[in-house]
Amino acid sequence: MNIIELAEKAKEASYKLAGISLETRNKALKNIYEALIENKDKILEANKKDIELSKEVLSEPMLKRLKVDKKVFNYMLKRFQDTILLPDPLGIITLHQINPQGMEVYRKSVPLGVIAMIYEARPNVSTDAVSVCIKSGNALILRGGKEAFNTNICLVDIMKKAALNAGMPEGSLDIVGDTNHETVTEMLKLNDYIDVIIPRGGKGLIKKISDESKIPVIKHYDGICHQYVSTCDYGMAVDVILNSKLQKVEVCNALETLLIDEKIVKDFGPIICRALEEKGVKLLGCDRMREIYPMEKATEEDYYTEYLSYILSVKVVDGVRGAIDHINKYGSHHTDGIITSDQEQIEMFLNEVDSASVLVNASTRLSGGGEYGMGSVVGISTDKLHARGPVGPMELTSYKWIAIGKGNIRK
Amino acid sequence: MNIIELAEKAKEASYKLAGISLETRNKALKNIYEALIENKDKILEANKKDIELSKEVLSEPMLKRLKVDKKVFNYMLKRFQDTILLPDPLGIITLHQINPQGMEVYRKSVPLGVIAMIYEARPNVSTDAVSVCIKSGNALILRGGKEAFNTNICLVDIMKKAALNAGMPEGSLDIVGDTNHETVTEMLKLNDYIDVIIPRGGKGLIKKISDESKIPVIKHYDGICHQYVSTCDYGMAVDVILNSKLQKVEVCNALETLLIDEKIVKDFGPIICRALEEKGVKLLGCDRMREIYPMEKATEEDYYTEYLSYILSVKVVDGVRGAIDHINKYGSHHTDGIITSDQEQIEMFLNEVDSASVLVNASTRLSGGGEYGMGSVVGISTDKLHARGPVGPMELTSYKWIAIGKGNIRK
């Protein structure tokens, strides 16, 4: 099947999916869960083949992302269990009224239609996307990276059969059968069949797809996350900042810039800087910071940088106003926190920081689908339109206006 | 002020707007309402100037759209009154939970940020957009057509002063001071300042903007609206179909294609065709239809056409399945109706027709913001992502995830 046929089939399936019951969708999730367990050896075998083919060309961290070990396999399984337990995202009535003429009008959540997922090495994106799309009644076309080709084909083959057996319509779940770039280029033009594209991977991939696509894209850009500290319990602040930066340095909700209020910087600055350096973090600071604690100078460019490593920018700001202005200018609208005991500052920060997640006295690492109780997610959107923050089944729905008349006409 | 300065100011204002109370926003709407009444003569004078400048070059219908007469002026005023009465679209908590670690997490509606509205001749788009954006706490940049330039400048000048007097932040409402195409081209690149573009006008304008823009666009494409008729009360069906087609032929929710079930076409076909022809509607039909009632042949192209005039395509379909397939293929996902007494068919139609509004036994003219009780709207979206159908204050919001911790960290 070429990509156009695949997309046509998905579109056809999507119309049927809009009427598929929660029972059938949950049964599909359960069937897949069981089929994955049953076919564990086959999956690990396919993954071994991918690792074998790539081990000379890929870096160690890339190979790690590619690998399906016991831990990753169990993670994949757990997502299906978690997603079964979520409430139905479809058929939710968000408005209901009788219009002036006596016509009943309501607004109901419905699937988006056909989702195309374009991603790189991690095979668990395949299973995450399937769990979220089945729950939300969307047809799904996967297109994974070439490194994980055997693993993905094997996974999708198993999941497809299990879903069809549960009564999901033919065409509701499939994978592109090649990893040519031309196929992706062609996909991006299929706006008659595909309703949304979700790219997962590096900034370059996402930018390329958004620029080229005629189809709406839900973007998952980088996380240049901040913590702003002012008057507070310094012990708590140190814990929260260290955790924000160090619990996992290579992820999108790790801390990249620390903003310290000028009122506390003389006292708190040296405490936090020492604590960070002890953990192996390299600090880059503004001039005011460097007067208080020795470190290399942070350039303008540094404040725009997602390090994803043991480097942190540190800047002194004038009050909550200065912090908000810095975050809105240099940040990526992903996750930003305030550490303070001042309620007025908290309110201003929560109102004016223009980010998907805003946290008070908590680690930036606590933003995300898992922590927000969303079961499986396909990523964390940095868009403001439609889905913002973690994208789970609910975020992959649209809505319909339904009006029930008795021969009503417009006067 | 050039367009970049204008957009920068709007962005700054947008951060402040996120914290502006409903009281202040409603006061701004009230002030504008009063200021418009006070300055009525000035507005009509400015509009007269526009009409004078255009009367040699514009067609009669275009001049009619441009004109602010007493009726249009009262319509403008009424929108402000209606919008004051709407509930606050901001600060709505759509989720609230305590996460496993005891951290309080909630999701709250917030303004989208900066909206740019690019539109053609109708001056009431200026006032509609202002009412919707003030209510929803969005900063607004207007860019109207050159024909209405004097009217728009005059209106915005009055509205801006009235809004600032109520306490709205400087920069929250403005109009581009020229009507050069280069300025629009530059606007479309300002994705650092503008969050959403809403174009209103012909298909060409909307397509050009979506293709060129780096900023998300809420699109208001055409309405190729259908009614599908099967077993029902024929008298009711005739009333609903005539009203769908004729109540106002030149608008997006007027009927363009009538689908008649093969089971009733022999009986009902001649009745409805005669009724439509009596009202001056020219019919174009499929071969099966033409065997029953004489009319010109409808081409494939006709089914894709939004006539906006006294022309109607008529097609015989096989059951509700045939109707759904036709609508999903040829329609524009705007507004489609079913006329029947069969509950099973109704359910299938409502589930599977992929349109913003789906109606049962009601005129297509009954879809829209007014009929759905939404007060003022800026248009009817044919997108599936974010806003679908009428776009009012609620649809111009995004949301934020807020987490309140007590020093919580990720284990």
SS3 for A375?
Answer: coil
DSSP state of B110: E
pLDDT above 90 for A256: yes
Whether B103 sits inside 8 A of A362 (CB atoms) is yes
- Probe site for chain A from B348, B366, B391 (most A CB atoms < 10 A): B366
Please give, rounded to a whole number of angstroms, the shortest distance from the CA of A126 to a CA of chain B. Answer: 22
Confidence bin at B372 (pLDDT 50/70/90): confident
Q: Return the sign of the alpha-carbon dihedral for residues B175, B177, B183, B184.
A: positive
Q: Is B82 on the interface with A (CB under 8 A)?
A: no
What band does A163 get if pLDDT is binned at 50, 70 and 90? very high
Q: How far apart are CA B373 and CA B78, in angstroms?
A: 14
**Which chain A residue lies closest to B370 (C-alpha atoms)?**
A99
User: A192-234, pLDDT tens digit by residue?
Assistant: 999 999 998 888 888 889 888 889 999 888 899 999 999 999 9
Q: What is the pLDDT of residue A1?
A: 80
Q: What is the pLDDT of residue A121?
A: 76
Given the structure tokens 């951290």, which residue do they identify? B103
Q: What is the ipTM of this complex?
A: 0.92
**pLDDT of the residue at A336:** 98
Distance from CA of A318 to the nearest CA of B (A): 18
Q: Does residue B218 contact residue B247 with C-beta atoms inside 8 Å?
A: no
The class level of CATH for A225-366 reads: alpha beta
Decide if A295 contacts A185 (C-beta within 8 A). Answer: no
The beta-carbon neighbor of B409 closest among A103, A239, A400 is A239
Least confident of A100-109, A394-403, B331-340: A100-109
* Minimum distance, in Å, between the CA of residue A317 and any CA atom of chain B: 18
Closest Cβ opposite residue A356 in set B240, B388, B401: B401
- Nearest residue in chain B measured CA to CA from A329: B192
What is the spatial distance between Cα B131 and Cα B81, in angstroms, rounded to a whole number? 9
Q: Which residues in chain A have Cβ-Cβ distances shorter than 8 Å to B245?
A: none
**pLDDT class of A108 with cuts at 50, 70, 90:** very high
Nearest to A111 by CA among A184, A153, A169, A159: A169
Q: Taking 80 as the threshold, does the pLDDT of residue B121 lie above it?
A: no
Q: What is the pLDDT of residue B407?
A: 96
- pLDDT recorded at residue B115: 97
User: If you average pLDDT over residues B264-287, what whole number do you get?
Assistant: 98
- Matching residue, tokens 């996974």: A155
The residue among A372, A377, A370 whose CA lies nearest residue A392 is: A377
Which tens digit of pLDDT belongs to each residue from A59-106?
Answer: 887 888 899 999 999 999 999 999 999 999 999 998 899 987 789 999
Rounded to the nearest integer, the mean pLDDT of chain A is: 94
Quote the longest CA-to-CA distance of chain A.
78
pLDDT of A251 over the 90 cut: no
Yes or no, beta carbons of A105 and B371 under 8 Å apart: yes
Residue type, A229: V
**Under the phi-then-psi rule, with left for phi > 0, alpha for psi from -120 to 50, and beta for the rest, what region is B224?**
beta
Band the pLDDT of B122: cuts 50, 70, 90: confident
CA distance B2 to chain A (A): 20
| Mean pLDDT, chain B, integer | 94
Which residues, at least 6 apart from A270, have a Cβ–Cβ distance to it below 8 Å? A292, A293
* Residue B354 confidence (pLDDT): 94
pLDDT digits (tens, 9 = 90+) for A301-357: 999 999 999 999 999 999 999 999 999 999 999 999 999 999 999 999 999 999 999
User: B211: nearest CA in chain A?
Assistant: A214
Q: What is the mean pLDDT of residues A366-388?
A: 88
CB proximity A341 to B under 8 Å: no
The superfamily (CATH) of domain A3-220+391-404 is Aldehyde Dehydrogenase; Chain A, domain 1 (3.40.605.10)
Position A15 scores a pLDDT of 92
Yes or no, beta carbons of B404 and A16 under 8 Å apart = no
Task: Report d(CA A6, CA B137) in Å as an integer.
Answer: 43
pLDDT in tens, A24-41: 999 999 999 999 999 999
Task: List, in order, residues 6 or more apart from B111 with CB less than 8 Å away.
Answer: B14, B17, B18, B90, B136, B137, B138, B396, B397, B398
Residue of B nearest to A8 (CA): B329
- Per-residue model confidence (pLDDT) at position B298: 98
What pTM was computed for the model? 0.91
Q: What digits encode the pLDDT tens for the residues A398-411?
A: 999 999 999 999 98
Number of A/B CB contacts below 8 angstroms equals 226
- Amino acid B12 reads E
Residue A291 has pLDDT above 80, yes or no: yes
Q: Does A373 touch chain B (CB under 8 A)?
A: yes
3-state secondary structure of B339: strand
B21 touches chain A (CB under 8 A): no
Residues of A in Cβ contact (< 8 Å) with B366: 99, 101, 103, 403, 405, 408-410
Query: Chain B, 222-281: which have a CB under 8 Å from a chain A CB?
Result: 233, 236, 239-240, 243, 247
B223-264 pLDDT per residue, tens: 999 999 999 999 999 999 999 999 999 889 999 999 999 999
CB contact under 8 A, A384 and B113: yes
Half-sphere exposure of A220 (CA within 13 A, CB side): 21
Q: Is pLDDT above 90 for A250?
A: no
Q: Give the start-to-end residue ranges of the domains of chain B.
A: 3-220+391-404, 225-366
Q: What is the pLDDT of residue A33?
A: 98
Within 13 A of B38's CA, how many CA atoms are on the CB side? 10
